[in-house]
């Protein structure tokens, strides 16, 4: 049977998508399903790894049905994933020993603070490119090893495995035969040395995470094994390749193949990422130095500014405040509102990321007056995304010394024209948005397709496949004085949540 398609699994913070991608880069079908978010305590966020795996199988089968194709027509299954979310599971039972601790979770903030006070951040940063922060996986693994029921006993018996979501899903998909990850995901754990490209024993000892628990690290375009779950694809084995963290996948999907090219992925949080090339970057001011991907025998690095809460702020306004029911209703309210009338929402629900990196900051809404309407709060929530991206871009430009020419944008929120225009106005640079919304998925598809020979080269992707992608370009339009006034108001609002009593 001719292998004419790639199946992409895009496992994100809020749900899972499955896409069928054809040889000319067209998306033939898509299926999606949300999973439940658990908030057991303020600042804590958890997922059910088993539920996530079931959603992967569900959406994969639905995508095949919608496309009207058989599993035997798949050249590969690829995977892009929420990154720092940590899973600890029993290799014998195949079950997690604790709910997954999500990248947003702040339960280890005190532990990170103690490490900082001990002067350990410089060591961690010099090896991993990461600051000491609960965002990253190492302290999450350590917390579960200490607090999960029977974790210590299972560890002593050699039954435990640890990994980010990609490793968990790969292990389940292959029937427990493969425990592996890729460079992009490994580099987000605070346990992986991005210079030696290996798990760092000193860091593993520091965080209390035995390296024996951790997965093998491979190139993103490597062969990761074959599906072996008898409940999936009628037991037909499909090769797995193209494993890459979602933000790095979006950089690849946006075809930011050259140093200096940058993108922003507008999701639950937002990642602003710039390709730096084959030499590890250096930054000391709130940016993450990370592996972008390993492919074609080369490892590519990137500078990243991480925004903890962006699109999730809109969801909070909808679900917690009940200010609108549907996104169509939101759009109508925004059209009726010229601006936020001085209302600012700083979405520090789980602290602030770049450039502040303050896990203890908490959200606020300021500037409310008697005439404030719900549409002003909605608009303030939307604009908070653009303000945070602007702050991030300023930091990346300052640290890299590379001026941004344009920002490539992807993710669900890019469908909002008001947000994209406001972003261009703040940046004073064009914002270029692909009309293909699933750039993380496409990056994973490109990566896996190259790995299995579905496509021959990056040049083929750029010259042929990219012709299928159309783009919307937003150019700055706002008067400079208005822009400056809006941004000064944002700076005051952020300063208020960073103050200490």
501 falls in which pLDDT band (50, 70, 90)? very low
By the 8 A CB rule, do 471 and 432 touch?
Answer: yes
Cα separation of 269 and 65, whole Å?
31
Q: How high does pLDDT run on average in the chain? A: 91
Q: Which of 342, 346, 329 is nearest to 371 (CA)?
A: 342
pLDDT(396) > 70: yes
Rounded to an integer, the average pLDDT of 227-248 is: 92
In order, the DSSP letters of 188-244 are TSSSEETTTTEE-HHHHHHHT--GGGSPEEE-TTS---B---TTSGGG---BEEEEE
SS3 annotation, 109-132: HHHHHHHHHCCCHHHHHHHHCCCC
Please state the φ and ψ torsions of residue 372, each to the nearest 5 degrees. -65, 130
SS3 annotation, 234-249: HHCCCEEEEEEEHHHH
Rounded to an integer, the average pLDDT of 267-276 is: 87
| pLDDT single digits (tens) 57-78 | 999 999 999 999 999 999 999 9
pTM of the model: 0.83
% of the chain beyond a pLDDT of 90: 71
Return the top range by mean pLDDT from 175-184, 336-345, 398-407, 410-419.
175-184
What confidence score (pLDDT) does residue 276 get? 84
Assign 314 to helix, strand or coil: helix
Q: How far apart are the first and last CA of the chain?
A: 68
By the 8 A CB rule, do 272 and 304 touch?
Answer: yes
By the 8 A CB rule, do 296 and 278 touch?
Answer: no
CB atoms < 10 A from the CB of 191, how many?
28
């Amino acid at each position: 049977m001719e292998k004419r398609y790639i199946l992409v699994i895009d496992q994100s913070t809020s749900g899972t998508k499955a896409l069928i991608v054809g040889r000319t880069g067209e998306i033939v079908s898509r299926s999606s399903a949300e999973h439940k978010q658990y908030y057991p305590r303020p600042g804590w966020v958890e997922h059910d790894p088993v539920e996530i795996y079931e959603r992967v199988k569900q959406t994969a089968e639905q995508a095949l049905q919608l496309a009207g194709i058989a599993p035997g027509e798949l050249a590969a299954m690829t995977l892009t994933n929420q990154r720092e979310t940590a899973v600890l599971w029993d290799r014998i039972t195949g079950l997690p020993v604790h709910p997954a601790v999500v990248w947003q979770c702040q339960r280890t903030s005190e532990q990170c603070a103690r490490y900082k006070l001990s002067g350990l951040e410089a060591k961690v940063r010099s090896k991993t490119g990461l600051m000491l922060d609960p965002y990253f996986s190492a302290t999450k693994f350590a917390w579960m090893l200490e607090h999960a029921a029977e974790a210590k006993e299972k560890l002593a018996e050699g039954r435990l495995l640890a990994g980010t979501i990609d490793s968990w899903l790969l292990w389940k998909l292959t029937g427990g035969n493969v425990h592996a990850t890729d460079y992009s995901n490994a580099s987000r754990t605070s346990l992986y040395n991005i210079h030696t490209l290996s798990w760092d024993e000193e860091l593993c000892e520091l965080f209390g995470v035995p390296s024996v628990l951790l997965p093998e690290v491979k190139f993103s375009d490597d062969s990761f094994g074959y599906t072996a779950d008898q409940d999936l694809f009628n037991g037909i084995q499909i090769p797995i390749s193209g494993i890459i963290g979602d933000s790095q996948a979006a950089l690849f999907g946006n075809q930011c193949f050259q140093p200096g090219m940058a993108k922003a992925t507008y999701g639950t949080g937002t990642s602003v990422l710039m390709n730096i090339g084959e030499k590890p970057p250096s930054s000391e001011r709130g940016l993450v130095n990370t592996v972008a991907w390993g492919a074609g025998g080369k490892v590519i690095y990137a500078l990243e500014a991480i925004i903890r809460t962006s699109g999730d702020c809109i969801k909070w306004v909808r679900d917690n405040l009940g200010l609108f029911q549907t996104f169509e209703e939101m759009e109508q309210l925004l059209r009726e509102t010229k601006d936020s009338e001085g209302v600012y929402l700083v979405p520090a629900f789980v602290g602030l990321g770049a450039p502040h990196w303050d896990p203890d900051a908490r959200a606020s809404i300021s500037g409310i007056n008697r005439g404030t309407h719900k549409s002003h709060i909605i608009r303030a929530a939307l604009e908070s995304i653009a303000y945070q991206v602007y702050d991030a871009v300023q930091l990346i430009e300052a640290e890299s010394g590379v001026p941004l020419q344009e920002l490539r944008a992807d993710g669900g929120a890019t469908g909002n024209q008001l947000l994209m225009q406001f972003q261009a106005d703040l940046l004073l640079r064009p914002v270029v948005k692909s009309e293909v919304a699933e750039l993380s998925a496409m990056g994973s598809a490109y990566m896996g397709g190259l790995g299995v020979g579905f496509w021959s080269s990056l040049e083929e992707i750029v010259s042929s496949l990219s012709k299928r992608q159309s783009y919307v370009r937003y150019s700055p339009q706002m008067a400079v004085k208005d822009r400056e006034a809006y941004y000064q108001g944002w700076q005051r609002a952020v300063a208020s949540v960073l103050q200490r009593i």
